[in-house]
A and B are shown apart, each in its own frame.
Chain A
Amino acid sequence: MPRAIQYKANSVIYFAGDQGDKIYILQSGKVTLRSLDIETNDEIIEVIETGQFFGVKSALGRYPREDDALVIRDSQVLVFTIPEFEQMAAGNSRIILKMLKVFSSQLRRIHQKVRNMLAQGRLMSTEDGLFSIAQYYLEKKHYQEALYTLNRYKKLYPQGAHYSEVVKYIPVAEQYAQKYGHGRGPAMISGSEESGNEVPPSKPIPTPEEESPEEASYYEAVNLVGQGDYTKALEHLKPIVTAGEAHPRYVSSLFEVGRCLFGLGQFEKTLKHYQGFLQNFPDFEEKGEVFFILGQSFEKLGNKEKAKEVYTRLAAMSEIDEVSIRKAKKALNSLGA
């Protein structure tokens, strides 16, 4: 049975990025959904009307919430689990049809946007595309597939640029299909013949350019951080940090040192390190991550008040990436702020 839940004004039902498996109907009060436009990054506010569903897409699709659901006035919402929603919907195709219409228009719009973006990178016309599929199958001697495609082309593009080739291929493909069968017979089309593709699968393909040894050492450290080997990563970072500002990766390396200290559970040291770091490099690119780790360190040391302070500052920063802000808000939420 769906449950009715009361929310106080200024509370949050869910945040963007949360994993949620609940679907809601607003019964009374006022709720808005706040999201960012994927093209312009402008804030979009949608007001939920009484009786309206929200949280449907992300719950059914099992992906993270794309918006913040904010309670504007004291509200009551009805909360469905997915099975409860399905059961309710099975008896009410009108609701589903209405949602299908909304979702299909959203899908059509986003699909169109993707296609427009791809078209700018000059894709094949559908006619050329269809012909290229036929060519592929002819090359591979998949006659049945080739014939299907050739016949479709013949029917769809009687004035097409490849029409004369297509009608020439059809009888030959039919004949070869009979005589030789799938994957056999002489080549009909000059394609890239099996080009001895027998590189042993264990060796990486080498690349021409070589990096400077300084860069190599830095990236080695980043990789080690990635693998959770902080002690070894620190060994690689130390010489870079000692080299000082002359090293092209000096600042980034200092940043990585902090991550290592945190990873090793040395929270006091992490705090000291990053506090000094921020004084010297207040405009560091990944400042958001630095603040977040500071907050985490305070939390680990049991200093919730300081942690809250750091997260609040982070959440209010304007020049910071969306991911860090989201992380900060989530952390604040779990601290019960």
Chain B
Amino acid sequence: MLMNNPAFERFAVTYQKGDILFVEYEPGDSFYLIQEGQVRISKIMGGIEKTIDVLQPGEIFGEMAILEEAPRSANAMAVDKVKVLQFNRANFEILMGGNPQIALKLLKLFTKRIFDQRRRFQVLTLDDVQARIADVFCMLSETQSTDGPLTEGRVFYITAEDVAHWAGLSIDKTQPVLNQFVSQRRIEIFPDRITVKNIHDLQRFVSSRRRG
């Protein structure tokens, strides 16, 4: 594989199982390409550390650091012994110029991030708090695969805190709206999940509010 190019050995860093690569809010100035081992990406929300993703060799993470000096948005920890190539903005072009495959991988990652961020932005532009919270469910449902055209019910393994996080609202503002949705029987809240009865009902609700 190209990534094992000896010319990149000088960028290699090894971590032991359980080591932290970075935590949320830390300033970020480098991004990583996994050569060996797995990296767990997590985020602490509502007093619980949630695993967002477990990344495999060949995957890239921390890529926002190439673009801007922004704080990290999640934690990264070595699941086992991990070897990564660590790059910063200065040596980024060297890497990309010589490695169209890595560049292509990054290009794909960017397209996905642009889409996700645009969708997230759309949610946040809704002034109506109810519509915004409903749209969080719509957004999450778009990344789920649907089985069968007639089933409009959806299950999300998320909590009220997660919904608040996605909606960019405090939990105090989010909870009453969720309760209202429950009393309208639009959703049901369980300790480990939230179910939506009819996702199209929420979509119509959002689009009727979006027009205003």
Contact = CB atoms under 8 A, between A and B. Distances in A.
26 contacts: A61-B112, A93-B96, A93-B99, A96-B107, A100-B110, A104-B110, A107-B113, A112-B68, A115-B70, A124-B25, A127-B25, A144-B20, A156-B27, A204-B182, A204-B188, A205-B191, A209-B183, A211-B184, A219-B186, A222-B186, A223-B198, A226-B201, A227-B151, A227-B197, A285-B208, A286-B204
Contacts of B57: none
B103 A205 contact: no
A107 B97 contact: no
B190 A201 contact: yes
Nearest to A219: B185
A96 B117 contact: no
Given A136-B49, A226-B201, A117 B99 contact: no
Nearest to A92: B100
A204 B196 CA distance: 12
A246 B128 CA distance: 27
A204 B179 CA distance: 11
B53 interface: no
Interface string B111-127: 11111011011101100
Contacts of B24: 129-130, 133
Contacts of B75: 133
Contact of B201 (A118, A222, A228): A222
Given A97-B103, A111-B64, A57 B121 contact: no
* Interface class of chain A by DSSP: helix
A124 B44 CA distance: 13
Interface in B163-212: 168-170, 179-180, 182-186, 188-192, 197-201, 203-204, 207-208, 210-211
Tell me which of B66, B107, B168, B204 has the highest count of chain A C-beta atoms within 10 A of its own C-beta: B107
B6 interface: no
Nearest 7 pairs between A and B by C-beta? A226-B198, A61-B111, A129-B25, A228-B150, A226-B152, A93-B100, A117-B124
Contacts of B49: 136, 140
A149 B122 CA distance: 33
Given A107-B114, A111-B113, 12 more contacts: A89-B104, A99-B107, A100-B110, A106-B114, A115-B70, A117-B121, A136-B47, A152-B26, A205-B182, A220-B185, A225-B198, A228-B150
A117 B121 CA distance: 8
Nearest to A122: B170
Interface of A: 38-39, 56-58, 60-61, 63, 66, 86, 89-93, 96-97, 99-100, 103-104, 106-108, 110-115, 117-118, 121, 124, 126-127, 129-130, 132-133, 136, 140, 144-145, 148-149, 152, 156, 192, 197, 199, 201-205, 207-211, 215-216, 219-220, 222-223, 225-228, 285-286, 289, 319, 321-323
Nearest to B182: A207
A127 B190 CA distance: 34
Contacts of B170: 121
B190 A204 contact: yes
A66 B179 CA distance: 34
Contacts of B182: 204-205, 207
B111 A57 contact: yes
A61 to B, nearest CB: 3
Tell me which of A92, A132, A209, A226 has the highest count of chain B C-beta atoms within 10 A of its own C-beta: A226
A216 B71 CA distance: 46
B103 A130 contact: no
A111 B117 contact: yes
A207 B185 CA distance: 11
A208 B100 contact: no
A215 B197 CA distance: 15
B103 A114 contact: no
A219 B191 CA distance: 23
B187 to A, nearest CB: 9
Contacts of B64: 111
Contacts of A140: 49
A97 B66 contact: no
Contacts of B44: 132-133, 136
Nearest to B113: A107
Contacts of A110: 114, 117-118, 121
A92 B104 CA distance: 11
A141 B108 CA distance: 39
Contacts of A124: 25
A90 B101 contact: yes
Nearest to A119: B168
Nearest to A136: B44
Contacts of A130: 23-26
B208 to A, nearest CB: 5
Contacts of A227: 150-153, 197-198
A108 B96 contact: no
A220 B207 CA distance: 21
Contacts of B169: 121
B106 interface: yes
